[in-house]
Structures are given as structure tokens and as C-alpha cells.
Amino acid sequence: MKVENHNLAVASLKTQRISAFKARLVAVLLKGKKVSDALAILSHTKKKASPIFTKLINSAVANAINNHGFEHSNLIIKAAIVNEGPTLKRFRPRAKGAASQILKRTSHFKVILASQNGGESQNQEYQETEKNLVSKSPENTQSGALSQQSQAEQPQNDPENGVDSQLSAKTNSTTTAKKTDLADNNTKNDATNTVLTQEKEVK
């Protein structure tokens, strides 16, 4: 289950008639700045993307104050994102009946605001709803059921472990007995060999 992050305020604007390359030149100036500083920078930046970002930041500030309970003085710009939108293709007539292509590019804008004090909003209802949703999610219920099943199966496996230990003890005892028998046979063979050598020497 997807839970929205209520510690961030977001505002987006799509299909604006400006290339992403030109808009990103302005977006780089805004990241990490306070809202007041960012608006001051935009007012002195003579670019086509400046008025677009000013409107978008004002919209994000309104969302932060009205929907999340943030204070205007604590807001900073966490991210200013510009993505490429659909490209409009047009043609220009050229010499000898030829035509050259014209690409009219568009961009998608997105501004994310956060609070300087760790993103804590004054309205705590969102956090309580998130906790309730996470606790009632099917993943948590399945994990709890699996843990109960594992606890119930543990005493059933204990006798099997005891049988396995007995079998291992028996196998160890048989291997040790075989080793002792081999050692006895070796000693007997050595004794017979010594007797034969002594008889040969006497002859």
C-alpha cells in the first residue's frame, strides 16, 4: 500500500513551451534555498523560466501552509525538477522543394518544498493515519501469521532433532568400533611377521 509523504509539499506544472535545457539553468539556482531567497533570485533572473518557477513556488507554498500546516518562514526548496515533455514537430520549407524539421520542445516542472525543522508539520492527523494504514497493511498481517506458525512448529520439530542426534551418536560409535578392530588386526599382523622372521633366523 502506497502511503503519501505528508512532510513534503509538492506543486507541478506540465507541458510548458520551453526546452528542458533552458529551464534547468534556472532550476539549478533554486535548490536548497529558502522560499524568500528563491523568489528574490527569480525576480532578478531574466530568463523565460523565471515567471514559471515563481508561480509554481507560490502554489507549493500555498499547499504547504493550507494542506500540511507548515510555516512560511521555515520552508526551503528541496528540489526543483525539470523533465522533458512531448515534442511538437513542424516543418519549414526550404530551397528546391525541400523541408527542414522544427522541434518545438515542452517541459514538465515540479517543485518540492520541505521544512527546515526536519519536516515536522503542525497537523499530526496525517502521521496518525499513516501509522494506522501501515499497521493494517496486508504485508504486516501476513508476517504476523507466519511468525505464529513458526512458533507453533518449533515444539513439533524437537523430537525429530532428538532422533537425529541419536542416529548420529550410533553412527559415531560404529565408526569408532571399526577403527579399534582395524588397529587390533594391524597389531596381530605385526606379531605374526616378527615370529616368522625369528624362525627364519633360527633355521
35-91 confidence digits (pLDDT tens): 999 999 999 999 999 999 999 999 999 999 998 888 888 999 999 999 999 999 999
- Which of 10, 91, 100, 17 shows the shortest CA–CA distance to 51? 17
Domain assignment present for residue 194? The answer is: no
For residue 180, give Cα distances in angstroms to 10, 28, 177, 183, 184.
Answer: 81, 82, 5, 5, 6
Q: What is the pLDDT of residue 104?
A: 96
Quote the DSSP letter at residue 122. S
Q: What is the pLDDT of residue 160?
A: 46
Q: What is the pLDDT of residue 157?
A: 46
Q: What is the CATH number of the domain that holds 90?
A: 3.90.470.10
| Count of structural domains, the chain | 1
Domain assignment present for residue 62? The answer is: yes
- For the CA atoms of 19, 24, 29, 34, the dihedral, rounded to the nearest 10 degrees, stands at 90
Instruction: Give the pLDDT of the chain (203 residues) as one tens digit per residue.
Output: 334 566 899 999 999 999 999 999 999 999 999 999 999 999 999 999 999 999 999 999 999 999 888 888 899 999 999 999 999 999 999 999 999 999 999 999 999 999 887 544 454 554 555 566 556 555 555 556 566 666 655 555 444 444 455 666 666 666 676 667 777 776 766 766 666 666 666 65
CB-CB neighbours of 129 under 10 Å: 13
Domain assignment present for residue 29? The answer is: yes
Q: Is the CB of residue 79 less than 8 Å from the CB of residue 10?
A: no
Domain assignment present for residue 95? The answer is: yes
Across the strands, what pairs with 41?
A: none
Domain residues for 12?
Answer: 8-116
Instruction: Compute the distance between CA of residue 193 and CA of residue 201 in angstroms, rounded to an integer.
Output: 13
Q: What is the pLDDT of residue 2?
A: 39
How many Å separate Cα 120 from the centre of its chain? Answer: 22
Domain assignment present for residue 86? The answer is: yes
